[in-house]
């Protein structure tokens, strides 16, 4: 039975009553759980004795014109999935519980969060870093698992945990995809049938660039152009960025070298914004 913990006091009491020495795994989410989330739960399950998830649609990480109010919240279905996955507890706070009136302290990572999504979603990673630090402080897990689909989010959290000496191990879970390559996302439910049919081009653009890289093209600009060329096959896809970046700092690079690279793409299909990425191996 997945125990529902709705406030910090209940969470702290539950945490304090865990058997001494039990390894606690944590999967923070915003709900609308899909197979990608469930693979993170399974990863936590395999590495920990006790697993807790959180479901909190964090208002702080949504911009004024983003989808906070329409973000899917299928709570009953989510709880069933957690139950089936054997997750012991779920933290389900209300917004006022997480952000008491007058809350005026925020966490801002200033390097890894600057490019890519950070450049087009001002304040997004400040909201993510703030809520994740709060959640880590409250849950005090031994390890926390985040999805590689949000590669920049993973990089920001890893940097924050390192810089603030947070005693937790951060693990990344691999991207889970539909049979046609579309990365699973809670936002895929917004796609019209026509947009859904075009969406796999995003993953195809990443795979095409990977193939070009493996065939000897190492110039970052040339690789990004190839990726954009694949997206251009559908007028329904409006690219926001298609970039080749250093895999750790996410800094700009001219050529892919011994550190490999992160290929990162964001695009709009109608009013839905999708992101995806692929890690290129180091150049031999
Ligand atoms: O990836 C998400 O679902 C969210 O950004 C997170 C990490 C739960 C913080 O709100």
Give the model confidence (pLDDT) of 181-198 as tens digits.
999 999 999 999 999 999
Kindly report the protein residue whose alpha carbon is nearest to atom 8 of ligand 1: 29
Ligand 1 atom at minimal distance to the Cα of residue 157: 7
The pLDDT value recorded for residue 245 is 98
Q: Sign of torsion, CA 235 236 241 244? A: negative
CA 163 to chain CA centroid, Å, is 20
Å from CA of 214 to ligand 1 middle: 33
The pLDDT value recorded for residue 107 is 98
Å from CA of 68 to ligand 1 middle: 13
Report DSSP letters for 185-217, one per residue. -GGGGG--HHHHHHTHHHHHHHHHHHHHHHTT-
Kindly report the protein residue whose alpha carbon is nearest to atom 9 of ligand 1: 128
Å from CA of 31 to ligand 1 middle: 9
Arithmetic mean of pLDDT, 111-119: 98
Across all residues in the chain, what is the average pLDDT?
A: 98
At 281, the pLDDT band (50, 70, 90 cuts) reads very high
Arithmetic mean of pLDDT, 87-115: 97
Question: Cα–Cα distances in Å, from 80 out to 26, 49, 122, 283?
Answer: 18, 20, 35, 45
Å from CA of 132 to ligand 1 middle: 8
- Per-residue pLDDT for 31 more than 90? yes
Å from CA of 157 to ligand 1 middle: 10
- The three-class DSSP label of residue 123 is coil
Share of the chain above pLDDT 70, in %: 100
Say if strands 24-29 and 3-5 run parallel, antiparallel, or are unpaired: unpaired
The catalytic residue positions are 37
Give the model confidence (pLDDT) of 37-89 as tens digits.
999 999 999 999 999 999 999 999 999 989 899 999 999 999 999 999 999 99
| Burial of 219: CB neighbours in 10 Å, binned 0-12, 13-18, 19+ | middle
Is 0.85 surpassed by the pTM of this model?
Answer: yes
The pLDDT value recorded for residue 275 is 98
Ligand 1 probe mutation, 32, 63, 128, 141, most atoms within 8 A of CB:
128
At 126, the pLDDT band (50, 70, 90 cuts) reads very high
- Per-residue pLDDT for 24 more than 90? yes
**SS3 of the chain: helix, strand, coil, percent, to 5:** 40, 20, 40
Ligand 1 atom at minimal distance to the Cα of residue 61: 10
Give the CA radius of gyration of the chain.
19
The pLDDT value recorded for residue 13 is 98
Q: Which residues line ligand 1 (CB under 6 A)?
A: 28-30, 58, 61, 128, 131-132, 150, 153
- The answer to whether residues 273 and 267 touch, using CB atoms and an 8 Å cutoff, is yes
Closest by Cα among 119, 113, 70, 64 to 240: 119
Ligand 1 atom at minimal distance to the Cα of residue 135: 9
- Per-residue pLDDT for 284 more than 90? no
């Amino acid at each position: 039975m997945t125990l529902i913990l709705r406030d910090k006091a209940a969470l702290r009491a539950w945490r304090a009553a865990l058997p001494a020495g039990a390894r606690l795994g944590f999967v923070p989410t915003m709900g609308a759980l899909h197979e990608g989330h469930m693979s993170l739960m399974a990863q936590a399950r395999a590495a920990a004795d006790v697993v807790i998830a959180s479901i909190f649609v964090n208002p702080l990480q949504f911009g004024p014109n983003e989808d906070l109010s329409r973000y899917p919240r299928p709570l009953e279905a989510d709880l069933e999935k957690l139950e089936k996955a054997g997750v012991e507890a779920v933290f389900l706070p209300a917004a006022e519980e997480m952000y008491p009136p007058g809350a005026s302290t925020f966490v801002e990572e200033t390097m890894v969060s600057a490019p890519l999504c950070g450049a087009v979603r001002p304040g997004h990673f400040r909201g993510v870093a703030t809520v994740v630090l709060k959640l880590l402080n409250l849950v005090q897990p031994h390890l926390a698992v985040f999805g590689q689909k949000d590669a920049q989010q993973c990089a920001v959290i890893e940097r924050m945990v390192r810089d603030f000496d947070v005693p937790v191990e951060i693990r990344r879970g691999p991207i889970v995809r539909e049979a046609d390559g579309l990365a699973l996302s809670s936002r895929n439910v917004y796609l019209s049938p026509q947009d859904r049919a075009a969406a796999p081009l995003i993953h195809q653009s990443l795979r095409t660039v990977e193939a070009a890289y493996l065939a000897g093209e190492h110039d970052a600009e040339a690789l990004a152009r190839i990726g954009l060329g694949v997206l251009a096959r559908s007028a329904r896809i409006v690219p926001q960025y298609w970039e080749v970046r250093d895999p750790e700092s996410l800094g700009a690079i001219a050529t892919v070298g011994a550190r490999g690279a992160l290929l990162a793409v964001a695009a709009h299909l109608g009013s839905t914004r999708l992101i995806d990425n692929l890690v290129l191996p180091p150049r031999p």
